[in-house]
Structure 1
Amino acid sequence: MCVASPVLAQTDVTAPAASDATASEPASASAAAPSGLWERSNLLGDMGGLRPWLGNYGVTFNLQETSEYLNNLSGGTKRGGAYDGLTQFGIVVDTEKAVGLPGGTFNVSGLQIHGTNLSTRNLQTLQSASGIEADSTTRLWELWYQQSLLAGKVDVKVGQQSLDQEFMVSQFATPFINATFGWPVLPSIDLPAGGPAYPLSSLGLRVRVKPSDAWTVLAGVFDGNPAGSDVGDPQLQNHHGTNFNLRNGALFIGEVQYALNPPPASGSGAAASGLPGTYKLGFWYNTQRFADPRYDVNGLSLADPASGGVAASHRGDYSFYAVADQTVWQRGGDSPQSVGVFARVMAAPGDRNLVDLGVNAGVTLKAPFKGRDNDVAGLAVGYAKIGSRAQGLASDTAALTTPGYPSRSAETVVEATYQYQVAPWWQVQADVQYVFRPAGGVPDALNPAQRVGNEAVVGVRTNIVF
């Protein structure tokens, strides 16, 4: 299995669809890999010699299953629990080994999504309780070819891509289950169909330039709506991930990354110069038209009975964001124990977006107990501010049609989690979340004069790498 960036940015385990993973390990590394059930990196080991045989031809096969049960103990629209699960599978091909083309990587991956979404059924939150919640289906996820150039200083990727694998990623946010710590709440709410991120993806082109060990620049252009339609449930519109189209405007995205005290290259013999960190600045711009959350085409409030109900529209939408990951403490010697902190802030205009400010922050402790070198404990907070015009619409509704209709402000979620590494291929995770003012104070459907109550969610997740 090739080690890579997190698949959904909620599980920092081996990924089936790695953006910069090698297609296979060298034969010597494969031969030296542990073969015992509780020491090897995947449950099925070398699959009776199939994995190393495929590796000789540059082919790596990946399969993992994530299952979880989450239960809403208080608040929300309904109490109770839900199971949801995700099977991820993929093939990565090193084209030099496979066909003699140096520097090339071909990737195809798919998803089998099953179970029920607690957030949709019981919570009505903007920041979904789980990063794997999605409509049940089997779908293509990513399908791309990447070519490395100039001795690895530049690489170009073209094809169907999921942006949450490379853009806006926070390393220390990956252990958390809530979706906002993966693909953040602001783009998932504001972009058409939630943007090209799990479980959807878009056709596009991404260029990465790495002028030095410290600096990386990412830039890309993608289809503006991965659903292929602005009508109906986006996941149903693109039910199996095969809507390959370039008809929905364009999404431009760029990101600059700076690595502080990056770890020395393997085998260099150099010592680390200080505590490592990564800092990112980025933006995105979507060329489609976006509806005004408050006013109609005549300038009347959409809550006004005299309004025709057709929202005014704005050309284009955009956001700026910053991400920081920093190790703040590391025990000396051979100890893996360390403390990392992260923060992620992004903003968008309030005249065309439901969420105009999103903030994540948190802290993780690796190896919290002696003998538990690969366990991770974490505490994080996610904040989603309702845009000014969406807040105004709630006020208009209270004044014009529904006295006592709740005002809207912001939704805040606090999450505490613990990842227990049973074996290199098996992880079990306990999780607790508390949501203040779900959806910023959305009214209860059964009583519009009352907000949906604050929610306490507990759950357990298990992940097995096959």
Structure 2
Amino acid sequence: MTARRNRSGIGPARAGLASCMLLAGAVSTADAQDTRSLPGTPDQPANDTAATPAPPGASAVQGDLMTRSALLGDPWGIRSSLAARGVSIGLTETSEVLGNATGGLRTGAIYEGLAAATLGIDTGKLLGLTGGTISVSSYQLHGRGLSANNLDNLSTVSSIEAGRSFRLFEAWYEQSLFGGNATVRIGQQAVDQEFLISQYGTLFINSQFGWPTLPGIDLPSGANAYPLGTPGIRLKLQPTEALTALVAAYNGRPGGEGSGDPQKRDADGTSFELDDGVFVVGELQLAINQGKDRHGLPGTYKIGAYYNSNAFADQETDNHGRSLADPDSNGNALLHRRDWGIYAVMDQLLWQHGSGADKGIGLFGRIVGTRGDRNLVSLYAEGGLSWKGMLPSRPDDSLGMAVGYTKISGRARQLDRDTAFFSGSAYPVRDAETVIELTYQAPVTPWLSLQPDAQYVIHPGGGLPDPDDAGRRIGDEAVVGLRATIAF
């Protein structure tokens, strides 16, 4: 998931959304039926929805400092006592330093961090309500975001970038039905925890490989993706081990009506708005060659679509049919009712080595498309490779390389041409933003991981004009950094 920004005169932009943020531990119970995960750490199992494993149970946190899964272990037996009652807790700090050596609005470096606390309750153990799970997660966000302060790009370079705050993220109840073949979840939720997720993409630090740039830019408030949750209901059906169907309906505008940053409109995540339209998303998932008896390499393939009932501003014309760049325009954009998008996701293991099912080289790709009249971004596509266990001496390390492409819609590009025409001066026409990322994730201990990272952003913002010289674009951005994650 991150701060949302608006660029005056040229449409909205995002300070980022995230999905591969490293966080505390998931929100499932010690033996939860549905392994709940939140923006987090590596080693995501196939078909899971984000990157964080469950909070450590009694056995996992025991042992010496270098082998236990949590830094604090099981002090005074608190964790094991809670786990026996169906209660799990997690606390993680993700800290990173990122800097751009070239390009952007200015060069420099920043520090930012995310402290995440999670609580999971197995209602069967604690309350006698079989098949139920309660999940609550909250964030404390600190530091400064590189994209918001230095870069002004579309695909925020850090998946944990957001406005400084202490906020509730998710708070929901889930009930298992029909012997586990269906679940219903109700409460405050985030769409990027279950929908449009690439398993291998969660390795990367750039936010676009979590919640894709297109819905993050186009939908109201960027949709209910990190760090914004909103009330909703989700139904999950799994008629076979290979086939899963998900459908959900959420409040259509996280943070409610108003201008400016939705994170500030809902400063602590507890507005629980219900009357801002509806955001509906559905997804079909096909998992192949899963389990011990598989005869080929495992993979997951997904297709989906979303719909939002709110009004969307035209990217070029006002409500009298004039270009918004025309000096005679009234400045009120033509409003369109409703918006939609379609998408596909692929995760496929190409080559496997070692005994672990996740060891080897994985290929991933996603594509999202929408209409161009009411959206700044009309197409998003990404692809990449992830190699876990490349070094025999470090079987849990992961190396990844990925490319993400964000296309500016034709109507928004026409507005740039209109701006040049009516101003009578040079003005760059935006086309697309491309991000290349190379990353390496190294677990130092089960509770500590380090991740050096390098990114290169071509045509930030799709080729935005430089604030100091509107006749030229903002320079391409070379970003390097280091992320550290500690599970307490």
TM range, smaller chain: over 0.9
1:178-226, Cα deviation, whole Å (9 max, x unpaired): 0000011011000111100100011000000000000000000000011
Quote the Cα distance in structure 1 between the aligned partners of 2:275 and 2:357.
53
Q: Offset at 1:404?
A: 0.6
Q: Say yes or no: does 1:9 pair with 2:35.
A: no
Partner of 1:155: 183
Give secondary structure in 2 for the equivalent of 1:76. coil
Aligned residues of 2:115 and 2:139 also touching (Cα < 8 A): yes
Identity %: 45
Which segments of 5 or more consecutive residues in structure 1 lack a partner in the other structure? 1-6, 265-270
Q: Offset at 1:247?
A: 1.1
Select the residue among 438, 460, 465 that pairs with 1:443.
465
**Cα gap change, 1:361 to 1:99, in 2 (>3 Å):** same
Quote the Cα distance in structure 2 between the aligned partners of 1:402 and 1:95.
67
Partner of 1:387: 409
1:429-453, Cα deviation, whole Å (9 max, x unpaired): 0000000000111011111111100
Query: Which is further off, 211-220 or 42-51?
Result: 42-51
Partner of 1:222: 250
Give secondary structure in 2 for the equivalent of 1:183. coil
Q: Offset at 1:231?
A: 1.3
Query: Which amino acid counterpart does residue 212 of structure 1 have in structure 2?
Result: T
1:129-153, Cα deviation, whole Å (9 max, x unpaired): 0000000000000010000000100
**Cα gap change, 1:446 to 1:417, in 2 (>3 Å):** same
Give secondary structure in 2 for the equivalent of 1:230. coil
Partner of 1:410: 432
**Cα gap change, 1:426 to 1:308, in 2 (>3 Å):** same
Aligned residues of 1:253 and 1:285 also touching (Cα < 8 A): yes
Partner of 1:296: 318
Q: Offset at 1:35?
A: 1.1
Select the residue among 334, 337, 342 that pairs with 2:364.
342
Query: Which is further off, 47-56 or 210-219?
Result: 47-56
Q: Offset at 1:11?
A: 4.2
Q: Say yes or no: does 1:56 pair with 2:84.
A: yes
Quote the Cα distance in structure 2 between the aligned partners of 1:296 and 1:8.
33
Aligned residues of 2:61 and 2:70 also touching (Cα < 8 A): no
Q: Offset at 1:21?
A: 2.2
Select the residue among 253, 262, 271 that pairs with 2:290.
262
Partner of 1:311: 333
Q: Offset at 1:17?
A: 3.6
Query: Which amino acid counterpart does residue 16 of structure 1 have in structure 2?
Result: A
Q: Offset at 1:401?
A: 1.4
Quote the Cα distance in structure 2 between the aligned partners of 1:359 and 1:208.
26
Q: Offset at 1:30?
A: 3.2
Partner of 1:135: 163
Q: Offset at 1:9?
A: 2.6
Consecutive aligned runs of 4 or more in structure 1 exceeding 6 Å deviation: 22-27
Give secondary structure in 1 for the equivalent of 2:103. strand
Quote the Cα distance in structure 2 between the aligned partners of 1:159 and 1:241.
13
TM-score (norm 1): 0.94
Q: Say yes or no: does 1:173 pair with 2:201.
A: yes
Give secondary structure in 2 for the equivalent of 1:245. coil
Quote the Cα distance in structure 1 between the aligned partners of 2:315 and 2:36.
45
**Cα gap change, 1:355 to 1:36, in 2 (>3 Å):** same
Give secondary structure in 2 for the equivalent of 1:186. helix
Select the residue among 353, 362, 366 that pairs with 2:388.
366
Alignment of 1:189-200 (within 5 A): 189-200=217-228
Quote the Cα distance in structure 2 between the aligned partners of 1:152 and 1:47.
34
Q: Say yes or no: does 1:376 pair with 2:404.
A: no
Alignment of 1:428-439 (within 5 A): 428-439=450-461
Quote the Cα distance in structure 1 between the aligned partners of 2:287 and 2:440.
27
Q: Offset at 1:332?
A: 4.9
Partner of 1:82: 110
Aligned residues of 1:25 and 1:55 also touching (Cα < 8 A): no
Aligned residues of 1:172 and 1:325 also touching (Cα < 8 A): yes
Query: Which amino acid counterpart does residue 419 of structure 1 have in structure 2?
Result: Q
TM-score (norm 2): 0.90
Query: Which amino acid counterpart does residue 164 of structure 1 have in structure 2?
Result: D
Partner of 2:211: 183
**Cα gap change, 1:198 to 1:432, in 2 (>3 Å):** same
Q: Offset at 1:15?
A: 3.2
Q: Offset at 1:262?
A: 1.2
1:275-315, Cα deviation, whole Å (9 max, x unpaired): 00000000100000000010000110000001000000100
Give secondary structure in 2 for the equivalent of 1:299. coil
Partner of 2:307: 285
Quote the Cα distance in structure 2 between the aligned partners of 1:78 and 1:25.
40
Q: Say yes or no: does 1:272 pair with 2:294.
A: yes
Q: Offset at 1:90?
A: 1.1
1:240-266, Cα deviation, whole Å (9 max, x unpaired): 1011111100001000000011124xx
Question: How many residues align structurally?
Answer: 453
Partner of 2:34: 20
Aligned residues of 1:336 and 1:373 also touching (Cα < 8 A): no
Partner of 1:67: 95
Which segments of 5 or more consecutive residues in structure 2 lack a partner in the other structure? 1-16, 38-52
Query: Which amino acid counterpart does residue 150 of structure 2 have in structure 1?
Result: N
Aligned residues of 1:17 and 1:142 also touching (Cα < 8 A): no
Select the residue among 369, 387, 396 that pairs with 2:418.
396
**Cα gap change, 1:239 to 1:60, in 2 (>3 Å):** same
Quote the Cα distance in structure 2 between the aligned partners of 1:363 and 1:160.
33
Q: Offset at 1:274?
A: 1.3
Q: Offset at 1:462?
A: 0.3
**Cα gap change, 1:77 to 1:146, in 2 (>3 Å):** same
Select the residue among 165, 169, 172 that pairs with 1:144.
172
Partner of 2:40: none
Quote the Cα distance in structure 1 between the aligned partners of 2:210 and 2:270.
24
Give secondary structure in 1 for the equivalent of 2:476. strand
Give secondary structure in 2 for the equivalent of 1:453. coil
Quote the Cα distance in structure 1 between the aligned partners of 2:24 and 2:403.
25
1:375-420, Cα deviation, whole Å (9 max, x unpaired): 0000000110001111110110011115110011000000000001
Quote the Cα distance in structure 1 between the aligned partners of 2:34 and 2:224.
18
Query: Which amino acid counterpart does residue 162 of structure 1 have in structure 2?
Result: A
